[in-house]
Amino acid sequence: MHVFTAIISILAVIGWGDWRNWQKYHTTLLFFALGNLVYNFLTANYFLWRMHADFISNHTLTEMLYTFIIFPATGILFLGNAPEGFIRQSLHMLRWIAIYAIWEYVYTLTGHIEYQYGWTLGWSIVALFCMFPLLKLHVKHPLLTYVLFALVSVGFLWWFDVPVHIPVEERANYGQ
């Protein structure tokens, strides 16, 4: 299912992506990838959600597929096709939130995603309502976006009581 998602993403971005202006979105695509990498790093021992690999060998390779193929393709499609005007932009954002929510719902039905520690599809939708506006904001106001991203991330870490700490065995090596 994850490889199928990557293939669909590649085909969609080839057909409808704004490839001529990819440089315009480059830093936002890196921000998108960074968000996924930060999540995977901070929750490495306490995943709120976890993708189950299909024929890809493990979780890490599956996440790399999302970080380096699916999310950049989404970014190019989302940003490159953003209309003008508040109402049209809002509808565009809602369409992408719906696409992601429906796709994730299919993942829940097929067992390709697992939720833990109180995370649910509903929380994923809340996160999407944060993610897509932050992607749009990052294009024009990257520093503000990093501050907001940090606040949202800390909020989720706090709400779900994610234990972000350095293990005791690693602390001893930090002073050397």
d(CA 104, CA 21): 29
Residue with tokens 């993708």: 51
d(CA 154, CA 38): 11
Residue 113 backbone dihedrals phi, psi, to 5 degrees: -140, 145
d(CA 79, CA 25): 7
- pLDDT the model gives residue 120: 97
Domain housing 37: 2-174
Q: Which residues contact 123 (CB under 8 A, 6 or more apart)?
A: 48
Per-residue pLDDT of the chain (176 residues; tens, 9 = 90+): 888 999 999 999 999 998 788 889 999 999 999 999 999 898 988 999 988 887 776 888 888 999 999 999 999 999 999 999 999 999 999 999 999 999 999 999 999 999 999 999 999 999 999 999 999 999 999 999 999 999 999 999 999 999 976 565 655 555 54
d(CA 14, CA 31): 21
- pLDDT the model gives residue 175: 52
Residue with tokens 């994610």: 162
Total number of domains constituting the chain? 1
